[in-house]
Amino acid sequence: MTTFEKFQKPGERFSKKISLWKQGAIHISKGTMNFFSLQGLDFCTLYFDRNGNKVGLQFLGSADVEGAVKLSYRDVGAVIPCKSFLDYYQINYSASRQYLLEQDTETGLLVFDLGAPLTDGYAEHPEGQIVEDAMFVLCAGGQGELPGSLTADELALVGRWLFETAAHLNLDRHALQARYRSLLAHAGKNEPWASPLSPLEKKVYDLLRDHFETYE
């Protein structure tokens, strides 16, 4: 007998990818959160399998477990700050890489294999550093310093992009307006950007938009 199940989540993204950023953080896209039903789990404990060279994640609803780390949630996913963990186990994070996230049937942990990256430092993007830093600003900018590798002009472009694409990514416009102004002030830009987009602005806009659509 054939059994059909009705799909009731049209328009939502589903993925099993996870990113280990060179800033010392793990980024979980909204699609991955949807796939593993991680919404509402605000804490995570990290595990390392020395023999298998794998990282395990256990998501929790509270900080009651020793070693639990608080997640930083944004509209494009969540960030797990884990620099201390990476340094302690001497895990290489000199370049940002993506991995496939799987659930371990024995432990229940969500696991990714450090020896099997899907991408290596966003090598397919010549301007990948701008893309990567923009993701960091958007998802974890509130955690500390803004990325130092961005030039003043690039940082201002990121701010412009965050503001202009709020509707496209279903982000809160008011929060992005405040972030945009702070980014422009940091870059020494005190006047609103002129419209339409310059060729360089359009280039960065397209890179960032394509990154979100491809890697979420």
Q: pLDDT tens, position by position, for the chain (216 residues)?
A: 677 665 655 555 657 888 888 778 888 887 888 889 888 898 999 999 999 999 999 999 888 888 899 887 765 678 888 989 999 999 998 888 889 999 999 999 999 999 999 865 444 444 445 455 555 555 544 443 444 555 555 555 665 555 555 444 455 555 555 555 555 555 444 444 445 555 655 555 555 555 444 433
Q: How many CB atoms are closer than 10 A to CB 212?
A: 18
Q: What is the pLDDT of residue 178?
A: 57
Q: What is the pLDDT of residue 40?
A: 86
Strand segments, DSSP code E, in 7-101 are: 17-21, 25-29, 43-49, 54-60, 69-70, 72-74, 77-81, 97-100
pTM of the model: 0.61
Q: What is the pLDDT of residue 101?
A: 93
Distance CA(54)–CA(47), nearest Å, equals: 8
Distance CA(54)–CA(150), nearest Å, equals: 31
Region of residue 34 (left: phi > 0; alpha: psi -120 to 50; beta: else)? alpha
